[in-house]
Structures are given as structure tokens and as C-alpha cells.
């Protein structure tokens, strides 16, 4: 099945949208460039749309050093420096687009302070749903989060 993904990380009042790649085994990973925009419809929609429309780079099996560098990408570019800090003060959203529709996942913290997707906030949209509606759902959730 053809799935396109886009992540939106909210940190310090900014939205970070990494480019993505896929390993040969099908697992997605975040890569540079990471686009930094204000969390508004006018700024987020075109960046997320471009990310979803771009075929993920196909990566060979990574070395341990490459895995570590890719794992450290978001804490580095956001300025959080660590995943623990990024998770505690940031929010993660993932949009998955496929022929079956659009899935929006929203993060919460697990018992160890790490991101996990909140099944109560999961949103499914019909195929062909305008991306503006999906991004508006992200922004509506963002308004409910503590500042």
C-alpha cells in the first residue's frame, strides 16, 4: 500500500516538519531538511503538502552511527537537545495519507515521559479530504494544550 507521511513537531512556538525517508524494510525516518514555520494554516499547509507529495528517499540499511545521527535530528534542530526534553515540552503529530484516507495521530506522554499516540485523539478522514481540514484539526488540538 502506498503511504505518505508527514510529521509536525511543535516546540517553543514553532512547527518543525522534517523531510522523510524510508529504509528498505519500509520503516520511515526523519531526515533533513527540516522546515521550520509558524503553526498556522497559511504556513503549515504548503509545507506539509509538499512533504506528503514528495516520494521518501530510499535509504540502505544504516550503520549504527547513521541510526544515532537520525535519532538525534529532531532534538538537535529544535534546540531541545534531548528527546526527554523535547517530549516533555513539545507535541508530535503524524499525518499518514493513503488510498484508504488520512490518519492523524496526536501525541501524549506515556508513564516514562515519552511520546506515544493517544488513541482517544486519533482522527480518520475520508480519502481526498482537503489537507486544510487535517491541519485545522492539528491547530485545534494545539489550542487545548497547556502553554
Compute the distance between CA of residue 42 and CA of residue 21 in angstroms, rounded to an integer: 25
Share of the chain above pLDDT 90, in %: 77
Domain presence at residue 13: yes
- How far is Cα 79 from Cα 34, in angstroms, rounded to an integer? 13
Per-residue pLDDT, averaged over 56-66, amounts to 82
Query: In the numeric block, which cell numbers belong to residue 56?
Result: 521518501
Whose grid coordinates read 501525541? 107
Q: Tell me: pLDDT of 64 over 90.
A: no
Provide mean pLDDT across the span 87-94.
Answer: 97
Residues 109 and 17: their CA atoms lie apart, in Å, by 20
Does residue 21 lie within any of the structural domains? Answer: yes
pTM across the whole model: 0.93
Domain that holds residue 60: 4-142
**The C-alpha cell of 84 is what?**
526527554
- Helix axes 41-53 and 131-144, enclosed angle (nearest 10): 130
Task: State how far Cα 5 lies from the chain centre.
Answer: 8
- For the chain, what is the radius of gyration of the CA atoms? 15
For the record, the C-alpha cell of 38 comes out as 509558524
Grid coordinates of 6? 508527514
CA distance 117 to 85: 17
- Report pLDDT for 100: 95
Structural domain total, the chain = 1
**48 lies in some domain:** yes
* SS3 call for 109: strand
CATH number of the domain within which 57 lies: 3.40.1590.10
147 within a domain of the structure (yes/no)? no
Amino acid at each position: 500500500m502506498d503511504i505518505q507521511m508527514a510529521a509536525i513537531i511543535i516546540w517553543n512556538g514553532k512547527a518543525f516538519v522534517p523531510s522523510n525517508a524510508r529504509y528498505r524494510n519500509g520503516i520511515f525516518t526523519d531526515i533533513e531538511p527540516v522546515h521550520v514555520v509558524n503553526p498556522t494554516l497559511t504556513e503549515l499547509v504548503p509545507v506539509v503538502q509538499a512533504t506528503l507529495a514528495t516520494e521518501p528517499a530510499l535509504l540502505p540499511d544504516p550503520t549504527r552511527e547513521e541510526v544515532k545521527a537520525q535519532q538525534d535530528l529532531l532534538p538537535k534542530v529544535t534546540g531541545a537537545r534531548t528527546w526527554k526534553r523535547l517530549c516533555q515540552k513539545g507535541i508530535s503529530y503524524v499525518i499518514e495519507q493513503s488510498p484508504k484516507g488520512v490518519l492523524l495521530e496526536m501525541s501524549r506522554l506515556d508513564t516514562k515521559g515519552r511520546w506515544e499516540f493517544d488513541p482517544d485523539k486519533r482522527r480518520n478522514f475520508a480519502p481526498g479530504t482537503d489537507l486544510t481540514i487535517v491541519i485545522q484539526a492539528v491547530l485545534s488540538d494545539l489550542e487545548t494544550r497547556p502553554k
